Chains A and B, each alone.
Chain A
Amino acid sequence: MTYKSEMKQLRKQRWHSVKNHPYFGFLIIVFLMFAVQLLRLMGVDVPVAVLRAFGSTMIFTIIALGFSILLGYGGLASLGTAGFVGLGAYFVVYFTNQLGLSIFLTIIAVVIGAIILGTVVGFISLRIEGMYLAIITLGLSEILNEVFKRATDITGGTTGEGIDGIILFKNVLSLSHNTIFIFISIFLFFIMVLTMNIMKSPTGRALLAMRNSSSAAQAMGVSIFRYRLLAFIVSTVYAMLAGVLYMSYWSFTIPSTWTLGFSLNILAAVIVGGSQSIYGIILGTFMIFGLDLAVFKQIDFFVNNPAITIVLNGVLIIVVVMFYPGGLIRLVQTLGVKLKILIQKLKKKWRDYKYGIDAE
């Protein structure tokens, strides 16, 4: 009898330590996203738009996570996101259609390319003023967009280009959306874990120090230039990897996707959700991209006036920057705390009613 209760206690403790593990929340989120796909597989009629919404949210969350390292931790803004993601997507097109190489090789090539590109652009723009990064990357993004339009041999020009399917090993494998979905979920989980590690590590602290007080950071031995460059390279790598995932999920890309508007939407996702919190970023990305696909595209009013959602995104950015610099996740957290206090109060009231007030 008692041994059993002891074991029960032990199991409770173990569950508690699992529940409080920093990665547990990520697992839950990925599982929730995955559950939608699972329902579809089991025959429940989930609308395709909702599925696509979750797929896009997962892919764009990866970009936004990179951006949060750059903006929330490094205190820098970049407007080249669209260009980088597009470049990643066209890497897949080139490697699959023209070279016929495996997706794994593509990923390696993309990572190397992103590191080189990030180093070059960051090295030029970050030496004087952090603010210049946004400008130089904006220029780069425009130039890249021009390249996407004009290098018709590879990119198919303004009409876009697709792939038949990604190549796993040697032969073309046309994987279904369902399979890619699994692939993306696992990828997202690992990216979240890695991002979490960066944020909690000395690197994350150095970045925050730099953002808060550059002189203190320098006095503590943090090289401002090196860490800015690092943050930018990380965000570039994330963006280009997301490009690869995008291409594998949608199998089609067109230059008009990769414009300034896309970069600004990513920025909106990061700011609206909360630039320093991983959960905030997932929330923000879902609000900006997921809701648009899953909900707004179903309502006639928004279908007739697609510009409204863009205005909404812009207004959200402005309002959040003006009044809630921590993002909506901070709001959610405060609400959660308040709710907890309220519940405790109600509980006490009920106890007082049932058992009488303690005579202390």
Chain B
Amino acid sequence: MINTDGFWRDVLLFIAALAVVHIVLKATVFKKLKRPWKAADISINMMIVLGILFLFYRVYVTVEIPGGGLYLILNGIFGSIVQVCVLALATTGIVLIFKTSTTTNFAQGMIATVAAFSAAKISTLVSAQFPDMNMTYVVLIAMFTGAMFSFILGVFIDVFIIRKSKYPTPVGKQMITMGLVLVFTGLIPIVFGTLPLTVQKLSYADNIQFTIGDSPLKYNITMHSIYALGITIVLLVTLFSLLRFTKWGLGVRATASNELVASMMGVNTRVITAMSWAIAGLLGGVAAVIYAPISGSLQVSMMIPTQVNGFLAAILGSFTSFAGPLVSTILIPILTNLMSIVTSTWQNAVVYIIILVIVLVKPSGLFGKQIAKKV
């Protein structure tokens, strides 16, 4: 049914062809333009988009049943909704912190894990107290309290650790967040005990099933993923409108471009950074609670893959924008899901290599701009 023969050969050949076309264009056409590097930039972007489209196409072709390719791809997309939501939330948190504190927060995943653990504790408490309550409400309450917990944790980290540091360099802050990972890794089993904890799904209602056209193949969307999508969209839309239309958002953007000038212009950068740590914590917390039920029982290292993917998405889309990482967060889980059709063992490695290749040809990220440094 699925014939993966020659998959890699075709992909590699296509990439090689793209590279050749790009080099030829660069050597002949672009040279005569006024700003050759700009044209080369656009051409590389086109090549990347073409490459990814070809990957989709090649997966589409592997299935030999009529309509099967579309089914495989669409189901792959539907199946990765939860991952996309989780990744989008986590990545937005990482980018927010990077913008205001110029550091990559390695503790993001751990803060989120703490939220998931506390949510699990609270949900067991609530369901013991009110056994008749609807499961969705219980999880929502747990999610809210967990997120609040990580919100406070975020503020705490910024105010009492990052800001109290005597010599705040970007690398130093990075080290501090790495240290925090160790601290949380040790503290979680001490605080929450070693018994296995779980968080329930948002809904156990029947999956939505439908067909397209006259194909007999049934498409499948879980209710959990629909709830997750809803929560994510609400959160992100709120956040982006806050960033776009409120004074706080203006402050964040000002702090992101130059902290010193912003503080001199009367922006309270301390509150801004503390708030962005808090919001990043909150986003991570929600992400962890959504992610927890599909990963089984809670584990200390459960958010590490998500965090790694979040970082990679942020690099892929460039730390300088919010939209770029979001696009990457949609791309990465879907690619992973599609690749698992071709190779069921190495899909993560393959996606990682794809990301590396893209970063290799476009170091500033898909949506990034190179900024001239003041000397």
Q: Which of A's residues lie within 8 Å of B, judged by CB?
A: 71, 75-77, 79, 123-125, 127-128, 130-132, 134-136, 138-140, 142-143, 146-147, 150, 215, 259-261, 264-265, 267-268, 271, 305, 307-318, 321-323, 325
Contact = CB atoms under 8 A, between A and B. Distances in A.
B183 A318 contact: yes
A125 B375 CA distance: 24
B49 to A, nearest CB: 20
A147 B180 contact: no
Given A128-B363, A314-B181, A140 B352 contact: yes
B187 A311 contact: yes
Contact of A77 (B175, B186, B305, B308): B175
Given A259-B301, A260-B301, A267-B175, A307 B187 contact: yes
Query: Which among B165, B179, B363 has the highest number of chain A CB atoms within 10 Å?
Result: B179
A97 to B, nearest CB: 22
8 contacts: A124-B363, A131-B170, A264-B181, A264-B182, A265-B182, A318-B180, A321-B176, A323-B166
Chain B at the A interface: SS class: helix
A128 B356 contact: no
Contacts of B373: 215
Contacts of B356: 124, 136
A325 B178 contact: no
Contacts of B106: 79, 134, 138
B101 to A, nearest CB: 12
B349 interface: yes
B189 interface: yes
A128 B345 contact: no
B179 A315 contact: yes
B315 A136 contact: yes
Interface of B: 103-104, 106, 161, 164-167, 170-172, 174-176, 178-187, 189-190, 301, 304-305, 308, 311-312, 314-315, 345-346, 348-349, 352, 355-356, 359-360, 363-364, 373, 375
A215 B375 contact: yes
Nearest to A75: B171
A136 B305 CA distance: 13
Given A124-B356, A322-B164, A139 B312 contact: yes
A7 B34 CA distance: 79
Given A139-B308, A321-B175, A314 B183 contact: yes
A21 B152 CA distance: 54
A318 B107 CA distance: 12
A317 B186 contact: no
Pairs A-B, 8 closest by C-beta atoms:
A314-B182, A317-B179, A311-B186, A314-B183, A310-B186, A307-B186, A135-B311, A318-B179
Nearest to A128: B363
A325 B349 contact: no
Nearest to A317: B179
B182 A313 contact: yes
Given A77-B175, A124-B356, A314-B179, A138 B311 contact: yes
Contacts of A260: 181, 301, 304
Contacts of B346: 150
A143 B106 CA distance: 17
Contact of B174 (A134, A268, A323): A134
B185 A314 contact: yes
Contact of A132 (B161, B315, B352, B375): B315
Given A124-B360, A135-B104, A314 B175 contact: no
Contacts of A142: 304-305, 308, 348
A125 B359 contact: yes
Nearest to A76: B171
Given A305-B190, A314-B179, A135 B172 contact: no
Contacts of B182: 261, 264-265, 268, 310-311, 313-314, 317
A279 B104 CA distance: 30
Nearest to A319: B179
B161 A318 contact: yes
A125 B373 CA distance: 19
Given A125-B359, A135-B312, A310-B186, A77 B364 contact: no
Contacts of A79: 106, 178
Nearest to A214: B373
A108 to B, nearest CB: 26
B167 to A, nearest CB: 5
Nearest to B361: A124
B181 A308 contact: no
A131 B373 CA distance: 16
Contacts of A127: 363
B352 A261 contact: no
Contacts of B363: 124, 127-128
B352 A131 contact: no
Contacts of B301: 259-260
